[in-house]
Amino acid sequence: MKKVFLLLFVLGCASTAFGAERNIVPNGGFENSYFMQNLFDGVDAQGRVRVFTSDLNDVIYREGTTETRPLFACQPQFIDVNEDGLKDLVVASPSGWAFVYFNKGEKGAPSFPDGGYPIKTWLGRVPRIHAVDYDGDNHPDLLFGTKDGQLYWLPNHNRKNADTFILSPGKPRFCWPNLIQQGFELKPIMAGSEPICVGTYAAPFYADFNGDGKPDLIVGEGQYSANSVRIYLNQGSAGQPRFGNQQGKDWFYLAYGDGREQLVPALYDWDGDGKPDLLVGDYDGHINLYLNSRTANSRPDEIEPLAWSKLITAGDQDSFGPLVAFCPCDWNDDGIPDLLIGTTTGMVQVALGRGTRTDPRLGTPTYIASRDRETDRRTPAGWDHDVVFADTSNGIYYPESISKEEDPSLTFPPGAEADDKRVLRFAYADNYAGYTRAPKFMSGAFMEGGFNVRSVLSTVERGKNYEISFWYKGDRMRIGLEMDFTEKFLPRENRPAVNYPVSVAVSAGPNWNKFSKKIKMPGSKGKKLTSAPIRFYFVGDGVAYLDDVKLIELPY
């Protein structure tokens, strides 16, 4: 598409009234709104543990050729994060967030009355996690694989809260190779001199499989129709793991999937014989059991693939939803294996073990409860936003449509109409703005914040005059406005579409101010231009307010 920069003619800043104005911006006053669940506390309105789901943008090629865009399941872990003697719940969202739910119950009866607390960093799209002591310092770290097929880890800084996995908000975090913010990026786990990479959607687990006292790295493959689980033997130590890249010497196939895809592994002594067995989730929602067949004579430096044993069942279920991710554990401390199950709805279930230690049988899965600590928010209808923006984001925010009912201190722009009851408020949850790449007209560099809300305009006409205006205020925030108008031509004209972008930026202060600018659409009258979304960017770590956003056709 050809891009031409639209010339802005500044004809004055006073609004011109001529008969009935037709605002081309839908819901520009933010009066129409609806309730959106606030999941930044990791709990839904029904009091269930629930995290953000994926958005059908992540591609999987089934059998190597068939493209699908499925929902991914969240992944739970059960480990003592704050080291108070009670295991806590950690849940990774497919959107790249992870939440910690601190256990306030007692051994055998976990309870999470305070909801979840977000880890203030971003793990990339569709992370698969293992909460485990990776560096041998007796503090749990966060090991994870991402959509790019590589592995990373967040070390524990012994803070005993959800911030224990970061140096500062957003540091470190996952960065795509072409979108690296220097000094903030995570370093991948290496095999020799190269990063470990299994194609796409890597799923790690870290535990001693061969009995040599050093944890090994288990990795489920997710590349196209890849169907195996690898084991990288630890060539270093428990405190300084090191892995090689030579197949048959440094790494082996621990299990073949035999046609199963998108494999998520875990080790757990399922049958009580003292040896770690392999459990593997797959695309179809099955959890497959591979019993450990190693003997006392097995060499620690040689690994033979394990044979498939059976499907794990819970109640009458042998499938737990597409792309299942799970955590084997002893939830109720009765010595019999239990299973935590992540779902594509973002909720987490627990299936309690029955039977005996050597023959566990799981009951029907039930949802894990918690307290909905944060109230749901009204968000403006017709204005879209991304929880994760442009694959670079890690801030926590909601755009709200608020009134004096929600905020008695709210003021409105001077001369506001009597029916002006609501404005847009853009603020960050937990004071966490995160970092994104700014649009080019606002520097193009990484900055705090940088999220956007957007709405779709109707058509405008070439050669006509329009006025764009909006009221704004805020604190520690710059606001950017961007519109794109696209002229398309008939096939017989044999001309590429032409794009006319409009962009402006203002700094918000404590009082309401009005931005107003006249613009003339280039070209002769009568030719219509279709438009892409109108976007407002919010750059900074403060708060911003918008009201009365208008694009009005002028009579001259």
Q: Which residue has the higher pLDDT, 375 or 353?
A: 353
- 357 and 445 part of one domain: no
Q: Which of 168-177, 223-232, 414-423 shows the lowest per-residue confidence on average (mean pLDDT)?
A: 223-232
Q: What pLDDT is recorded for position 525?
A: 61
Strand 33-36 to strand 2-3: parallel, antiparallel, or no bridges (unpaired)? unpaired
Give dist(CA 14, CA 293) in Å, integer.
81
Q: What pLDDT is recorded for position 168?
A: 93
- 331 and 409 part of one domain: no
Give yes or no for residue 261 having a pLDDT over 70: yes
**pLDDT above 70: percentage of residues in the chain:** 92
Does residue 293 contact residue 209 with C-beta atoms inside 8 Å? no
- 439 and 509 part of one domain: yes
Does residue 305 contact residue 32 with C-beta atoms inside 8 Å? no
Does residue 436 contact residue 519 with C-beta atoms inside 8 Å? no
Task: Encode pLDDT of 163-193 as tens digits.
Answer: 999 999 999 999 888 788 999 999 999 999 9
Task: Encode pLDDT of 87-106 as tens digits.
Answer: 999 999 998 999 999 999 99
Range of the domain at 471: 2-37+375-553
- Torsion on CA atoms 28, 30, 35, 40, rounded to nearest 10: 90
Specify if 64 maps to a domain: yes
- 355 and 381 part of one domain: no
Task: Encode pLDDT of 4-60 as tens digits.
Answer: 333 333 333 333 444 457 898 999 999 999 998 889 999 999 999 999 987 777 888
At 393, the pLDDT band (50, 70, 90 cuts) reads: low
Give dist(CA 109, CA 382) in Å, integer.
44
- 395 and 370 part of one domain: no
CATH number at residue 88: 2.115.10
Specify if 155 maps to a domain: yes
At 61, the pLDDT band (50, 70, 90 cuts) reads: confident
Q: What pLDDT is recorded for position 524?
A: 60
- 92 and 17 part of one domain: no
Give yes or no for residue 357 having a pLDDT over 90: yes
Q: Which of 357, 374, 391 is the last residue of a domain?
A: 374
Exposure string over 161-183, b if 16+ CB within 10 A, otherwise e: ebbbbbeebbbbbbbeeeeebee
- Mean pLDDT of the region 488-492: 73
**Count of structural domains within the chain:** 2
Q: Which of 84-88, 425-429, 454-458 shows the lowest per-residue confidence on average (mean pLDDT)?
A: 454-458
Exposure string over 339-364, b if 16+ CB within 10 A, otherwise e: bbbbbbbbbbbbbbbeeeeeebbbee
Give dist(CA 262, CA 198) in Å, integer.
11
- 381 and 454 part of one domain: yes
The letter for the amino acid at 345 is: T
Give dist(CA 181, CA 176) in Å, integer.
9
- 223 and 348 part of one domain: yes
- Residue 383 tokens, joined: 């204005």
Task: Encode pLDDT of 506-552 as tens digits.
Answer: 999 999 999 999 988 776 666 666 666 789 999 999 999 999 999 99
Give yes or no for residue 336 having a pLDDT over 90: yes
The model's pTM is 0.91
Residue 219: exposure state from Cβ atoms within 10 A (0-12, 13-18, ≥19): buried
- 416 and 283 part of one domain: no
